[in-house]
Structure formats: structure tokens, C-alpha cells
Amino acid sequence: MPKILDGNRVRDQILDGLRPRVAALTSAGRTPGLAVVLAGHDPGSQIYVRNKVKACADLGISSRTLTPPDTISTRELLDLIHDLNEQPDVDGILVQLPLPPQADTRRVLLAVSPEKDVDGFHPMNVGNLVAGRPGPRPCTPAGIMELLGQYGIPVAGKRAVVVGRSDIVGKPMALLLLHAHATVTICHSKTSDLAAVCREGEILVAAMGRPALITSEFIRPGAVVIDVGMNRITDPAQARRIFRHSPDRLAVLARKGSVLVGDVDPHDVDQAAAAYTPVPGGVGPLTVAMLMANTVAAAERNAERRAAPAVC
């Protein structure tokens, strides 16, 4: 039987490691602070933000959620971000995506101070990642590296394949694996013979946003498969095909009207992989945990800067 890589367990380990750091900051009069900007009414975004706010409360991190209307302009968002950049009790700023269509997402993300960019999306922090310099790393790829480390899965010298080239997951994931001395291939929807390329991977990271795209023909026998996909499907025929051996998941669809599936076929990965992350309960919990880790690290850096003697 393959090993199930439990993201909830690793999340709890990450959060437990943060608790004494938060307590030390708080006892020194410097409670870490996170500001979340949630524009509009996207249901998925609202769920993610609730999870992040709950994690802050559990750790003792101060959080505030700003909820401008979905009619907000780019200029108004930029003014809001500028105000948060200037507030000394805000260590981290998270702009929840997607933004409303009239807002210029790139300009808004670029406006976040690199020191408060707990998502790791600012070009300065992306440059630090490319150069292997310290700085906040994008939360989902960083969480995956923590997962591999916690389970003792070797990365150095391995062939790793990342399916997907997004700025949020695919590209930073490839860089983190490369820094860990894997030989990395990035592939995507335009890759010729995608299945054959994926079969080269001893570590396969699926981040395409396509329900159950990765079937047995994509998976090298004995591979470690990391499923980043979070796809909510409502079509009963599609669900019956994907969950053909999982009546409990079909029962979820019947009860709720939708069911969650990753980018990897759940039956095929169970048959072919040596280890894999389930959906739900795999990568998802790690993203929030690493956001908390980035926020605490930002607060520690801010505390160090304030404690440093002034240079005349």
C-alpha cells in the first residue's frame, strides 16, 4: 500500500513550532500582525480567508480582514495597500486572489512592501528565491518542501517533474526543488507527449487545475506524487468516472451537490505511487501553515530592525 502524506499532521507540526516564537514576540510587546484584503464575494476566497483568520487566532497572531466592495478600483486598492504598508503593527499583508476583474492584480501585488509580502509574490522576493537568498517563499511550494522533509523523502539527485507553470505554484516549486538539488522538468498544457514527460518523475507535482488529469499513464511506478489541485466538480457523470471506486466521495456529491478532487486520479495514484498527498487533507492545510510561518518571520525581522541601534 502506498504511504499517504498527511498534510494535516505536518501543518500541526509547523504550527506547534511557531507557538513559542509568537509567545516570545508577544512577551516582548510585539504581537505579530497580519492584514488580509478580501475584495468581492468569491465563495472560495471567503473560505480561505476564514481558515487563515482562524489559524491566526489559534496562534495568537493579530489579524484584521478588510473587505472593500467588489466595485473597488485599482487606485482605491493601491491607496489601501499604501496605508497598510505604513502601519507599524502590520507585519504581513495578504491580498486574496482573485481580485474583481476591473482591478489590476499585478499593480496591486507590486504595491505590497516586499518586507510585508507574506505570499512571496513581490518581484524582489521572487528574485531572492531565484538567487537562493533568504526571504518569504510562496506558501504552497514551501509547504510541499516541508512535507517532503517531514516524511524523510529524499529530493537531492531525484528526477522531479512539475506539471504547471503558474507564478504561484509551478515556477517557485521548480526553483525550490532545484535548490534542493533535484533535476527538474517543468511541463504544461503545450508540452508534447505530456504523459511520457511526467513518467520520468520520481517526484511528480501536479498543479494544472484540471480535475483528475493525471492518470496511471502519467505516473512512474513507485513515484512520490504531490497533488496541488483543488477542483470542485458538480457533474455526476464526471464524478462517477473519477470516483468509480470511492462510493463515499459520490455520497458527498449527492449530499452537498459538489465534491472536491485534485489534479490526480485518486484511484490510479493509489495503485501506482509509493506515496501521495490526498485531496482534501494533503497540500491544502500546508498553505495556511506556511502563511503563518511567513508572518511570524516578518514580525521577527521587524522586531530586529526596531531593536537595532540607530546609525548616525
What are the residue numbers of the active site? Answer: 52, 96, 119
Name which of 90, 126, 113 is nearest 299 in CA terms: 90
Phi, psi of 94 (to 5 degrees): -120, 120
- Which residue shows C-alpha cell 493509489? 270
Name which of 206, 196, 162, 165 is nearest 180 in CA terms: 162
- The whole-angstrom separation of Cα 42 and Cα 192 is 35
Q: Is 255 exposed, middle or buried (0-12, 13-18, 19+ CB in 10 A)?
A: exposed
- The whole-angstrom separation of Cα 67 and Cα 61 is 19
| Segment holding 185, helix H or strand E | strand 183-187
DSSP characters over 199-232: TT-SEEEE-S--TT-B-GGGS-TT-EEEE---EE
Name which of 99, 44, 54 is nearest 288 in CA terms: 54
